[in-house]
């Protein structure tokens, strides 16, 4: 997020997606960005990226770069809903998949109006990133067959696979006391990400609020 002052001295955030950033350099109360579309200068910049990228762009050593990945696979399952309802099904017998959830039970509007169900499974085991979509679907099919032996799940169809190599930063004892502050980068550069708070959606949202408040306070001085 690039922040620059308008002619009437209001602080104006500029959000432009799908433009790669190669470098962030703060000097003389301004920030210079090197992007794949050229150079940009601004009064302030909020670096809201994954931890490894944020550390590369800002040089803040306390940004955690060790973490765990996840693979999420989405499916269509012919037939009526499973009796799990809105509950998350945790695989207690095997790590593949780790969990399965029935999306059409949680949000029926995701469905197409037919009896088909939309399911999603998560894989966090070592090697999940490298397994084929077909192998992942087979794992989920086997798990569902063991949980619902009376149900025919051979028609389970994978429709999308998302591979996230860095999904959650490592949190050994004492990790939260070492997390960076939103103002840790040099100059008017700010950090936003769950790694400045705690690893969760709530932590990510809170970090955005903290970064916005910091920019507003500093630019108002």
Q: How far apart are CA 210 and CA 72, in angstroms?
A: 30
pLDDT category of residue 95 using cuts at 50, 70 and 90 = confident
Bigger pLDDT: 163 vs 1: 163
Residue 2, pLDDT above cutoff 70: no
pLDDT category of residue 167 using cuts at 50, 70 and 90 = very high
pLDDT, mean of residues 4-21? 67
Bigger pLDDT: 14 vs 178: 178
pLDDT category of residue 9 using cuts at 50, 70 and 90 = low
Residue 7, pLDDT above cutoff 90: no
pTM (two decimals): 0.80
CATH of the domain at 200: 3.50.50.60
Domain count, the chain: 2
Q: Which residue segment(s) compose the domain that 175 sits in?
A: 2-65+171-220
CATH of the domain at 92: 3.90.660.50
pLDDT confidence of residue 202: 96
Q: Give the neighbor-by-neighbor strand order of the sheet with 21-27.
A: 21-27, 30-35, 38-42
Look at residues 168, 192, 211 and tell me which one is the last residue of a structural domain.
168
Same structural domain for residues 123 and 153? yes
pLDDT, mean of residues 109-124? 92
Same structural domain for residues 87 and 35? no
Residue 8, pLDDT above cutoff 80: no
8 A C-beta contact, residue 208 and residue 13: no
Same structural domain for residues 60 and 73? no
Quote the strand ranges of the chain, DSSP E.
Answer: 2-5, 11-14, 21-27, 30-35, 38-42, 44-47, 67-77, 89-90, 99-102, 117-123, 157-169, 189-191
pLDDT category of residue 158 using cuts at 50, 70 and 90 = very high
Look at residues 153, 168, 183 and tell me which one is the last residue of a structural domain.
168
Same structural domain for residues 124 and 203? no
Bigger pLDDT: 40 vs 101: 101
Same structural domain for residues 8 and 82? no
What is the token pair recorded at 76?
Answer: 């269509």
pLDDT confidence of residue 12: 62
Of the segments 15-24, 37-46, 176-185, which one has the largest average pLDDT value? 176-185
Same structural domain for residues 35 and 88? no
Residue 115, pLDDT above cutoff 70: yes
Look at residues 128, 153, 168 and tell me which one is the last residue of a structural domain.
168
Strand, coil or helix: 18: coil
Pick from 63, 78, 73, 75: nearest CA to 181: 63
Same structural domain for residues 37 and 102? no
pLDDT confidence of residue 19: 85
Q: Which residues of 42-80 are buried (b: 16+ CB within 10 A; e: fewer)?
A: bbbbbbbbbbbbbbbbbebeebbbebeebbbbbbbbeee
Same structural domain for residues 101 and 144? yes
Same structural domain for residues 164 and 191? no
pLDDT, mean of residues 98-111? 94
């Amino acid at each position: 997020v690039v922040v620059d002052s308008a002619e009437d001295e209001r602080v104006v955030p500029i959000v432009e997606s799908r433009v790669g950033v190669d470098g962030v350099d703060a000097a003389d109360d301004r920030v210079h960005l090197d992007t794949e579309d050229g150079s940009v200068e601004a009064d302030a910049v909020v670096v809201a990226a994954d931890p490894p990228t944020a550390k590369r762009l800002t040089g803040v050593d306390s940004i955690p770069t060790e973490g765990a990945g996840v693979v999420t696979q989405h499916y269509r399952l012919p037939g009526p809903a499973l009796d799990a309802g809105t509950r998350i099904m945790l695989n207690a017998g095997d790590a593949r998949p780790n969990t399965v959830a029935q999306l059409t039970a949680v949000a029926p509007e995701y469905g197409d109006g037919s009896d088909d169900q939309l399911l999603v499974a998560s894989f966090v085991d070592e090697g999940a990133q490298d397994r084929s979509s077909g192998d992942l679907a087979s794992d989920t099919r086997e798990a569902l067959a063991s949980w619902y032996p009376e149900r025919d799940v051979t028609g389970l169809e994978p429709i999308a696979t998302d591979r996230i190599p860095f999904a959650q930063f490592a949190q050994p004892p004492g990790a939260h006391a070492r997390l960076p502050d939103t103002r840790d980068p040099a100059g008017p550069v700010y950090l936003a990400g769950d790694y400045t708070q705690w690893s969760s959606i709530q932590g990510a949202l809170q970090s955005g609020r903290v970064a916005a408040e910091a920019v507003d306070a500093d630019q108002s001085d």
